[in-house]
Homo-oligomer: A and B are copies of this chain.
Amino acid sequence: MTKRARLQLTGAMRLVGTNEFGKTTTFDVQPENGGDGSSASPMEVFLQSAAACSGMDILSIIRKKRKTITDLQIAIEGERAETHPQVYTSITVKYILTSPDASEGDMTRACELSQDQYCSAFAMIKQSGCAVSWTCSVIRP
C-alpha cells in the first residue's frame, strides 16, 4: 500500500500538503521560529496524527461491538529530547469515550488493540524507542 503527498511553500515557513484526493493539511511555526503561527507545527501534527490513527481504530472497534459513540476526546502530550534531533522520548495519551452503552472493559480492550496491534503510527513511534503510556475512561452522555 503506497501513500503519496505533495507539499508546497505558501508563506515564510507555511507548507501546505495535498493528498491524493486533493485534501489539504497546513503546517506552520510560531514567529520565534520564523513562521506566522497560522497552523500547528510539523511535530505537533506528527503527535496528533498518532492520536487520530489510534482514535479511529478505537471508533471502529467500539462500533463493531455495536455500541453507540456519542463523543471521543483524546488528549496527547509528548516530551521531546533537549538535543537535536529532538525526538519524542515519551508520549502519554488519554482517551475519553462518551457512550450510553459501551463499558469500561469495551473501551480498555479497544485501546489495547489499537496500541498493541493496529495503530501504525504508535507502532513506529514505539519502535523508535519512545515510551508510550495511555489511560482511558468512559462517560455516560
Contact = CB atoms under 8 A, between A and B. Distances in A.
Interface of A: 1-9, 12-13, 15, 17, 19, 21, 23-30, 33-35, 37-53, 55-56, 59-60, 63, 69, 71-80, 82, 84-88, 117-125, 127-130
Contact of A49 (B12, B45, B60, B72): B45
Given A72-B9, A85-B120, A127-B129, A80 B3 contact: yes
Instruction: Decide if the interface of chain A is mainly helix, strand, loop or mixed.
Output: mixed
A15 B77 contact: no
A59 B42 CA distance: 14
Contacts of A123: 85, 87, 128
A113 to B, nearest CB: 10
27 contacts: A2-B77, A2-B78, A3-B78, A3-B80, A4-B77, A4-B78, A5-B40, A6-B74, A15-B74, A17-B51, A21-B37, A21-B40, A23-B38, A25-B25, A27-B49, A27-B56, A35-B56, A42-B56, A43-B121, A46-B121, A49-B49, A84-B118, A87-B120, A88-B124, A124-B125, A125-B128, A127-B127
